Amino acid sequence: MPYFETTAGRVFAVVQGEGPPVVLLHGFPLTHRMWREQMVPLSANHQLIVPDFPGFGQTPLVKDSLSIDDYAIVTSALLDVIAPQQPVHVVGLSMGGYIAMGMLRQAADRIRSLALLNTKREADTPEAAQKRLAMVDKLLVEGSRVAAEAMMPMVMAPDVNEDRPALFDFVRDLMISQAARGLAVAQRAMASRPDSTDLLARCSVPVLVVAGSEDKITPPQGMAEMARDIPGSHFVTIADSGHLSPLEKPVAVNEALISHFQRNP
């Protein structure tokens, strides 16, 4: 089984392909499996490293309290084992984007390039943080179904919910199968994450920003503003996609990522 012993604990990750390393960081409340449509195309020319964060999927939760920067430390520790001393293309969706920003804060010299998909640079407002903490209380009593019920109506474009039942069921089942404790720890971490606006404005690594045109969670306008403020960044909008573009519109997302890797070999 693909478990790796790191200085930050035991981490499950799928590793596939050969070439410059690429790490794919999943969103909430998902796992490495949200990248299933990227595995074959992106591993043709790269070593893909696709972990589950602590408390998600198959990676154990070692502590009951983690910050977003702690998840970044775990990711860097995994890279130290799998791709030591090598600069890495870091790709993060939503919560994975917050963790990618944590890696930028901690070890920018490890990052060959950054791709931020459907994410936010701002910290939570007090109201948003409060909403997360209310979800934590419910999660710990009622289980992971609470997160699935809150997110499924808005996580993908409306046509997916109506016309693509297999994809809808895949995402819902993935959410429901997560351990509520891991989700609660992640919600608390997201509620207290730092603002990364200045960090990104000062960023000297090449950045790709990808937005879903129909994303209700991280709307494309905010993504465009983020891209505008990152020196030299590329901005791509994925047409007819909600928040989970890598699953909803994999061909367009794969094209955007492959072009980004080619521009930044």
Cα–Cα dist 67/186, whole Å:
8
Q: How far is CA 228 from CA 30, 208, 242, 252, in A?
A: 29, 11, 21, 21
- b/e for 140-170, b at 16 or more Cβ within 10 A? eeebbebbbebbeeebbbeebbeebeeebee
Q: Between 112 and 243, whose beta carbon lies closer to ligand MLT?
A: 243
- The site that binds ligand MLT (CB under 6 A) totals a number of residues, namely 7
Strand segments (E) across 84-222: 88-93, 111-117, 207-212
Q: In terms of CB distance, is 56 or 83 closer to ligand MLT?
A: 56
| Binding to ligand MLT, residues 236-255 (CB under 6 A) | 243
CB of 217 to ligand MLT, least distance (A): 5
Spell out, one character per residue from 84 to 103, where the chain touches ligand MLT: x when CB under 6 A holds, - when not. ----------xx--------
Minimum CB separation from ligand MLT for residue 190, in Å?
5
Within residues 26-85, the interface with ligand MLT by CB under 6 A covers: 27-28
Q: Is 235 in the site for ligand MLT (CB under 6 A)?
A: no
Distances in Å between the Cα of 48 and the Cα atoms of 15, 135, 207, 229 are 5, 33, 18, 29
Instruction: Give the CA radius of gyration of the chain.
Output: 17
Should residue 217 be labelled a site residue for ligand MLT when binding is judged by CB under 6 A? yes
Q: Please check whether residue 32 is in contact with residue 57, taking contact to mean a CB–CB distance below 8 angstroms.
A: yes
According to DSSP, the β-strands at 207-212 and 111-117 are parallel
**Beta carbon of residue 85, minimum distance to ligand MLT (angstroms, whole number):** 30
Q: Which is nearer to ligand MLT, 99 or 208 (CB)?
A: 99
Nearer to ligand MLT, 59 or 94 (CB): 94
Closest separation between CB of residue 246 and ligand MLT, Å?
Answer: 11
User: Which residue's CB is nearer to ligand MLT, number 82 or number 189?
Assistant: 189
* Residue 71: strand, helix, or coil: helix
Binding site for ligand MLT (CB under 6 A): 27-28, 94-95, 190, 217, 243
